[in-house]
Structures are given as structure tokens and as C-alpha cells.
A and B are shown apart, each in its own frame.
Chain A
Amino acid sequence: MSEQLQVKTMAEMMASGESPEVLFWVGCAGSFDDRAKKITRSFVQILNKIDVKFAVLGTEESCSGDPAKRAGNEFLFQMQAMSNIQVLNGYGVKKIVTTCPHCFNTLKNEYPGLGGEYEVMHHTQFLTGLMNEGRLKVEGGAFKGKRITFHDPCYLGRANGEYEAPRNLLAQLDSELVEMKRCKTKGLCCGAGGAQMFKEAEKGNKEVNIERTEDAIEVNPDIIATGCPFCNTMMTDGVKNSEKEKSIKIFDLAELIADAQSS
């Protein structure tokens, strides 16, 4: 990826009297984690290519508060939520898209009770929408015949009942979607949720991400597709642990779509 991305902040849009179609909530992982930043850039690349007018909060964005809330720190969560809501409402934001299912769940479900009511979409839902409108076109050529399995993020799947949007996108790639034994409502967690990402696991006999990666390896995929930066990290570590990183790649759906997007 060498091209310069076109990214405007809400503040810049406001200053030039413009308003975006949608606010892209990047999230902490998407902003700071080296692997997740690639997902962020891929998503923006898709939007740039088809001239979707979006904005980010940039340095005005702050943690949604999800990990604090799941860990039980309701004070910190509500402090974060209230200050984010002040920023979002200040800009009159109506529609939000995010590449992180944790931010998605928190903004969509937990912000309304604190005064932040927005239409919130996960990027797989947003991209499906663009595709249905005919704005986003993909050529599956690059992935033709590839075996791709999708790991359902808990906070997209069970938490919010969205199982189809990511699979709809995969169906556009002419690839072969192979489902793991445990998928959709029965999908196994990657091990990162509930603030586990930020701590060592409790004592046990196995790491959750190893258990989940074994599910994926069992169906012998070329690619494990994810829709969550944390799942991505966990699955990548799991594949490395099994020394399969040469034959199995882990990509976010945004990266797959960006690669397959028609010019």
C-alpha cells in the first residue's frame, strides 16, 4: 500500500462547511496496533476509491470505554462514554461505522442510555450496504478457489446477532467459504473479549486462542477471515503457535475486499 490516503477529520470538515456521509470510528486498536492499522488503512482505501465522504475524529477520538466496562469499571466507562458523546453530539454525528465489534457494540447499545443516539454499523454491514447500492464492486479473481473460513467475533455475532454481513462479503470473492465446526451462534471466542486482551489468562491447561485456531486449522483453510482487530491478533498468534503461518494467512474482511475491489 503506497498511495496517500485521503482522510479528513470532523474538525476539518466542519471548518470547510462540509458534512460527511458517515463518521469512521477508528478505535484504539485501529489507531495504535501495527497489525490493526493495516486494517484501518485498507478500509479507508476502499472508501477513498469509491469516493465515500467520511470523516474521523482523529485526536478527538478516545477509547469507547468497552474494556473498562467489561472489566467492571463502570465509572471509567461512563466517563469515557460521556466525553465521547459530548464530542459526537457537538459535531451532530448521526451515522457511525467502525472496524471494531467492541466499539460497535458499545456505541450502538450502551451509548443511547447516556445520551448518544446514533446509527452504528460494523464495517462489514456498511460495506454490504455499499455493495447493495452498487457503489462498491469487487472482482473475486485474486481469491478464486481459495478456502476461506470466517471466525465470528463474539461482539458482532452472538452479542448483536450479525452473522450474515461478513459472509455476504466473502461470497463476493469467488472463494470457497468453509465453516468451522463451531460457527455462528456456536462460534468459540478467540479469548480476547471481556478485557482478557489486556491481561494474562487465568491458570488453565490451554490458551483459548490455541483452542480456537485448532478449530480453524481443522478445516484446512488458506485464509482465516476476521472482522475484529483483537480476534485477528489472537488468531495470528494461534497460527504462529502451530507453525502454520506460511500456509494460513489471517486477514480482516476489509483487507480482502480492498484487494478484490475493482478499479
Chain B
Amino acid sequence: MAIGSILFIICLGVASFFFYKSITRIRRNILLGRDVNRTDNSSLRWNTMVRVALGQSKMVVRPIAGFLHILVYAGFVIINIEILEIVIDGVFGTHRVFSSWIGVDAYRFFINIFEVLALLVLVACVIFLVRRNVVKIARFWKPEMKGWPASDANLILIAEVLLMSAFLFMNAADVVLMNTNPENLASAGLDKYAIGWNGQGFLISSMLNGILPADMSALHFIERFCWWFHILGILGFLNYLAISKHLHIILAFPAVFFSNLKPKGEFDNLDSVKKEVELMFDPSVDPYAAPPEPEEGAVPPSFGAKDVKDLSWKQLLDSYTCTECGRCTSECPANQTGKLLSPRKIMMDTRDRLTELGSYIDKNGMDSDDGKTLINDYIQPEELWACTSCNACTEACPVNLDPLSIIVDLRRYLVMEQSAAPAELNNMFTNIENNGAPWQFAQADRLNWKDEQ
């Protein structure tokens, strides 16, 4: 076996191993969340996933970004078919193995399509870079985007530009080699490239011919360099996903599949509360009886969420899925009017806290606790109390993520565990308790409107 093949197999193995490790760790972290049933109604779930994730139906609500995103998405999915060929070529030392399977003309047809897509991806990524860094679209410059999130976005876009360029330069150099007289190829030790090519160039990459060197060994270097750069870039990118917002390319599908199918206005009725309230309403319960001894090792019920473990696995999956596009934040009435709340920050904080807790658990064991919490250490009560629960964020999210449910669970913790609601809300609660209305009016006056003129 050639040294190239051995090197390739090692790279592939190492990249796959580390990717597998990352995915396992992320999965473990997500499953730190409490359980929630999101497997009902599977036909509607499949339908929603096909429409929203595969079909990008909510992306195009914003036509420019939506259209460009579809280009990058389609390009990414389709061009990556070629990875299969690259892997086979890499392992067996063949050259463009698919061309011998489907014939040179059909092969050229497909590569032409890939090249057009590659160019479109390249152009779209450049426009995205300009939108972020030159036009400075407001939602990319919110406080939570400072530092790593902004670099992350730029790194992804630059990586895609480089990968697509490598793909095009590889094809350009390769075509010149493949069209060289087989005897000349053989004398240069490049007989691998004599695959009976039909003399034609590819649609886009042939435009690069003018800037290519004529020297065969230089061409060979360019072709090999771009080939290795392309595949190592993809393997590197795969592993980069685990620490990047770009993970959405995988998680968007399960996140949409398991998304909330109920009316957006419906908040869940907490079961832990329901049990207590039912007891209070049950006339057969003796109110003076001592509560039963808790079972050995039983965890007393807690209400709402103070940390990521108190959220559901779906909310944690959402946090890893968020790609920080900021459509939620730009539609948020609180954010638009200068309040501290940003639904995107809620998602990012949840993910960052979960990652932090995950690393701590890795070092100190499953039951260890670093003493930090999502609330206060990451999210301030002031952010939570600014929410109007209007669902603009959940409506705007292209992949049906639900920052509102996290906000509500954190509010529940503040109110029910900490009694830390703003004073005016405590007055409202007291009024409801005492006279059945959020204001101080007597219940006996409820029908007075009937006779008022």
C-alpha cells in the first residue's frame, strides 16, 4: 500500500475518532436535562422536519439571507457527495474512481454541477462576510456577539471560501494533467492521471487555466495540495463543529423534529405543582396529618430551573443547535427598546453553562457540582423580567428553537423557590390570592359593569 493511502487512512481514523468522542460528550451533556415527551405525533414531526429543516421554510421569511443560505446549504449537501469519491480514492490510491464507474461524460456533467454550486457557495459566503463585517448588520453586533461568537462566524465563512477555492483549483490543475498525453504522464511518473479523459475542461475551474503553471510537476503539486487541503479541511471542520455554533448543520434536524407542536401560547402545567395542588383540593386529605416520610434517597421536588440540569433535554438540545443568527433578538420587543433581554443570549448562555458543567463532570465525576448556576452566573433576573412572552422569538427562529420556555422556567425558579419576583408582581399575586383579580377590586363587584352607564 502506498504511503499516501496509509497517511490518508490514519487522518480519516483520527478525525473520526475525535468526532465520535465529541458527539458522545455533547449527547451526554444534553441528556443531563430532565425528561420530556417529544415523540408523540410522529407523522406531524416528520412533516415539520421536512418542511422547516430540510425545506428551509422559515429561512426565507428574510429573503436575502434566506436565499443565500439555501445556496450554501444545497451546495454543502450536494458537493459533499464527492467526499465519498475522495475517501475511496484516498484509501485505494485510485484517481477519480467515479469516472470509471459512470463514464467520463456523465462524470463531467456532475462535476460541472458541483462546480457551479461551489462558485455560488463561495459568492454567498463572501456576501455573508461583507454583511457581517462591512455592512455591520445590527443583529451581528449585539453585546453577546463580542469576541469568540464573532470570530467563530468569520472562521466558518473563511473556511468555506478556502474549501471551495481548493475544490476549484484542484479540478483546474487536474484537468490539465488528465488531458496530457499518457506517454508524457508516464515519463513523469503520473500514469494515475491517464484515465482516458475526453479533452474537455470543467465549467468553472477551466476559467482558472490562465493562472496555472505549465510545468507538470507544479500542476501535480497544486492538484495534490488542493486535494489534501480539501479533505483535511473537511475533517478538521467536522471536528470544529463540536466547539462551534456551526453544529446546527447536524442538530437542526433533531431540534426541529422534537420541536413544540402545541399552540405557542400554551405553557406546560408543572406536574410537581399539580400533585401539590390536587392534594389541596382533595377533600379526603387530612390537612393536619403529618406528611409521609420521604422514600430513601428521594429528591424533593424543585420548581422551575436554576441550572441547566433543571431544564429539559430538548431545551439543552436547542442550546447546542442555536447558530446565533439573532433573528429572535432582532424581533424581540424588549431588545428593540433597549432592555437587557436578548433571546439569543439566553440560548448561548444555556449552551456555555452546559459546556462548562460538562467539562467539570468529565474531571470530577457525574454527581459533582461546581456550585455555579445558569441563573445569576450567566443570566440576570433583569433579563428574564423584561420578557413579554409574546413569542416573537419562537416565531422568528428558523429551526423552531424555544428560548421563551427557558425564560419561563427560570422565572418559575425565581418566584417559587426564591420568592424573588419584582415587588409589583408580588402585589399582583397577593391580589389574585385575596380577591381573584390582579388588581385590588372586590370579587363582589365583578358584575358591577352590568348596571353602569
Contact = CB atoms under 8 A, between A and B. Distances in A.
B403 to A, nearest CB: 13
B337 A207 contact: yes
A109 B388 CA distance: 18
B273 interface: yes
Contact of B337 (A1, A108, A205): A205
A155 B336 contact: no
B238 to A, nearest CB: 36
B447 A31 contact: yes
Interface string A47-70: 000000000101101110101111
Contact of B387 (A194, A198, A204, A205): A194
Nearest to B390: A189
Interface in B412-453: 412-416, 421-422, 424-425, 427-429, 432-433, 436-439, 441, 443-453
A99 B394 CA distance: 25
Contacts of A113: 269
A199 B388 contact: no
B338 to A, nearest CB: 3
Interface stretch (A138-146, A156-164, A239-247): A156-164
**Chain B interface category by residue count:** 35 or more
Contacts, number: 223
Contacts of B443: 59, 62
Interface stretch (A13-21, A73-81, A128-136): A73-81
B276 to A, nearest CB: 7
Interface string A1-33: 110110101000000000000000010101111
A193 B450 contact: no
A78 B274 contact: yes
Interface string A175-211: 0000000000110110111111111111111111011
A177 to B, nearest CB: 22
Contacts of A80: 432, 436
B258 interface: no
A4 B336 CA distance: 46
A198 B337 contact: no
B331 interface: yes
B390 A105 contact: no
Interface residues of A, number: 76
Contacts of A86: 281
A32 B439 contact: yes
B262 interface: yes
A75 B412 CA distance: 10
Contacts of B276: 75
A71 interface: yes
A226 interface: no
A72 B265 contact: no
Q: Which of B266, B388, B408 has the most CB of A within 10 A?
A: B388
B385 interface: yes
B267 interface: yes
A202 B340 contact: yes
Interface of B: 262-267, 269-270, 273-274, 276-278, 280-281, 303-304, 331, 333-334, 336-341, 382, 385-392, 394-395, 408, 410-416, 421-422, 424-425, 427-429, 432-433, 436-439, 441, 443-453
Given A1-B453, A71-B425, 4 more contacts: A41-B452, A70-B389, A200-B424, A204-B334
